[in-house]
Structure 1
C-alpha cells in the first residue's frame, strides 16, 4: 500500500531520506523554502552518491506549506537550533506518525509540547540518520556507508511491534536499515560524546581534517572515550548499545582509530564531518553549551583530551564570523 509521507527539511539528510522513501514506493512530499521547492519541482531530486559513484534522479513534489494536507508519516529533518523555531508549524501537521530526525537536546520537552499542542499528530518517535554530504544549487552530494540507516525509537522503552512493522514497511524493498533503540533520550545525550570532538578538531583545522596531526586525532579519539566514561558514572546507559566500546582498547577501538584516519585523510571526512561543521555552527555551539553544562561535574583530570581540543578551537564568535552562520 502506497503511503503518503512528508519530509520537512530539504538539506542533504532530508534529501537522501526522501530518495529512499520514494524508492520504496511511497508518495513523498518535501516541505521546503520557496527557492529549493522550485528547484526540486523543476529539476527533480538529484543526488550524487559519492562513495557509490552514481547519480540518482527522482520526481518529487515539493511545497512551501502543507495547510489542509494530511500524511501517514512525517519526518522532520533539521538542525536542532532550527527545530524550536519550527515548532509552531509542526504543531499544525495532520499526520499519523511524526519522526523527529537529528540532534535534539530537549526531546522530552518537545514531545510534551507535541502531545499538548498538536492534536493532529497521533504518534511520535525520534530518529537519527547516519549520512552526510552537502547541498548544491540544484542537487546534492551524499556521503553514506552502504544504504545508510536510521536509529529510531520512543523516548523511553521499546516501541510496540505493530508500530515497528508499520515503520519498516515504509522502507520495504530498499537496503536502508531501521535500527530500533530502547531509549532515544539516552541516545541523544550520548551522541554528542562522539560528534563534538570531531567538530572541535574540524574547527581547529579550519574545516579541513586533512590538516590534523596524529596527536590531535588521538585527542579526538580519547576525548570521546573520556565523555563516555563520564556518562557511565552518571548511570546513563549508552546507546546505541556498545557504542562506547569503539573508544576502548579492544578490536572495536582499533577499527574506530582506522576509520578516523581514513576520515582525516580523504574527502569522506570533508563530506561526513567538516561540511556539517561549516554549515551548522549555531547547532554545534548549542550542543557544545549543553555538554559544557553536562560535563561540569567531571574532574578536569578526567577530561584532559577533551579540554586540550577545546582550548585550541577558535571562539564561537570567531567561528560565526568565519563561516557566516
Structure 2
C-alpha cells in the first residue's frame, strides 16, 4: 500500500532510502538544510555506485520544514547524532506524525528522544550499507538485489508492536533490503559505537585518514584490536549486553590473525568508502566518543589502548609513521590453537593405532 513518507536528512542513507522508497511506489518528500537543500533542488538526488560508477538521478519534492499539521505515515531521520538536539523541537511541534524512525549511531540511549516526542512516537534503527557525500553526488556501496541488506529496527523498550511491523513492511518494500525487528536495538546501537568509535576510527585517524597508511602500520592495527577488547569488556561491566550476540566471537580471534585480517580489510572498497565518510564527520565522532565514555564511566576496566587511540580524536596528535611496528604482538591465542591442534593430532594417532 502506498504511504506518505518524509526523509528528514538527505545525506548518503537518506538519499538511497528516498530513491528506493519512491521506486517502490511511495509518496516521498525530502527535507534538508543549507547547501544540501540547494543541491537537491538544483540537481535532484544523484547516487553513484562506487563499484560500477553508474549514476542514478531522481527528483523528489523538497520541503523546507516539517509543519505542525503536516502528516506523514512515517518520518525517517538518518542524521548525525550530534545534530539531533537541534531538530527535536520542530519534530515535537508536529501533531500529526505518529512515528519518527531515527536511524543513526547512538551510545547515549533513547531518553532524549522519548522525553521530546513520547515513547509511542519514537522508533530506532540503523542505516546501511555505507556511503559519503562528495559535493552534490552521493557515492554509495552497492546494494545487491540478490543478497538483501538487513536493516535492524526496534522499539526503545524492546517491544514488538503493530506500528513496528508496519514500518518494517514499508522498509521491506525497498529493493535490495530486508528488515530485522530487534528487541535489543538500544544495546545493538551501543555495541556498534563501542565496536568502531573508540577503536578502529581513531586508529584510522592515527594513520592520517589514509587506508593505505593503516594497512601498512601494524601498531595502529594492534592498538585497534586491543581497544576493541577493552571496549567490549567496559561495555559489559557497565551492564550493556553485546548485540548481536555473535559479535562476542571477535574476542576469541588471536591478535596476530586479527591484525593481519585488518591489513587485508583496509585494502577493500568498503574500507575506503568508510574512510571517505569519516573525513566528513569529525564533529560526530567526537560527540560519539564522549557518549561512549559517559556510558562506561562506572566501569572498572582499564583502557590503555583506548586512551592512547582516542587522543587522536580529541588532540592534535602527530600521525603514526607509516609502517610502524614497535608494539610486540601477543601470540598467546595462536599458541593455544597450535597446542589444541597438537593434542588433537596426538589423539587421532592413538585412535588410528
**Which interval holds the TM-score relative to the shorter structure?**
0.7 to 0.9
Counterpart of 1:132 in structure 2 is: 130
Work out whether residues 158 and 184 of structure 2, in 8 Å CA contact, stay in contact via their aligned partners in 1. Answer: yes
Correspondence for 1:233 = 237
What does the per-residue CA deviation read over 1:251-308, in whole Å, with 9 as the maximum and x for residues that have no partner? xx97x76763344224432322x233222212111221222233444456x4343234
Q: Cα–Cα, structure 1 residues 231 and 148, in superposed 2: closer, same or farther, change >3 Å?
A: same
User: In 2, are the aligned partners of 1:34 and 1:64 still within 8 Å (CA)?
Assistant: no
8 Å contact from structure 1 (residues 202, 277) kept in 2: no
Structure 1 pair 81/318, CA: closer, same or farther in 2 (3 Å)? farther
Aligned to 1:50: 50
| 4+ residue segments displaced more than 4 Å | 256-259, 296-300, 316-319
1:70-97 CA-to-partner distances (Å, cap 9, x unmatched) read: 1000011211111101111111233131
Match of 2:187 in 1: 186
- Number of equivalent positions: 307
Distance apart, 1:32 and its partner CA: 1.1
Counterpart of 2:314 in structure 1 is 315
Counterpart-to-counterpart distance in 1, 2:284 and 2:114: 20
The whole-number CA distance in structure 2 between the counterparts of 1:232 and 1:144 is 34
Question: Would the alpha carbon gap of residues 314 and 134 (structure 1) be closer, same or farther in structure 2, given more than 3 Å must change?
Answer: closer
Gaps of 5+ in 2: 319-353
| 1:163-201 per-position Cα deviation (integer Å, ceiling 9, x unaligned) | 343123213262212122212222222222112112101
Deviations 1:185-225 (A, max 9, x none): 22222222112112101211121132021232132123222
For residues 123-176 of structure 1, what are the alpha-carbon distances to aligned partners after superposition, in whole Å with 9 as ceiling and x for unaligned? 32101112322213332111256453322101122322x334312321326221
Match of 2:73 in 1: 72
Matches for 1:84-95 after TM superposition, within 5 Å? 84-93=85-94, 94-95=96-97
Q: Distance in 2 between the 1:29 and 1:287 partners?
A: 29
Q: Distance in 2 between matches of 1:216 and 1:295?
A: 23
Q: Which secondary structure does the structure 2 equivalent of 1:29 belong to?
A: strand
Q: Which residue of 1 aligns with 2:61?
A: 61
TM-score after normalising by structure 1: 0.83
Q: 1:294 to 1:263 in 2, by over 3 A?
A: same
State TM-score, norm by structure 2. 0.77
1:317 Cα deviation from its structure 2 partner = 6.5
Secondary structure of the residue aligned to 1:152 is strand
Structure-2 separation of matches of 1:259 and 1:14: 31
1:221-300 aligned within 5 A: 221-249=225-253, 260-272=262-274, 274-299=275-300
* Compared CA separation, residues 184 and 314, structure 1 to 2 (3 A): closer
- Whose strand proportion is higher, 1 or 2? 1
SS of the aligned residue for 1:66 comes to coil
Corresponding position of 1:23: 23
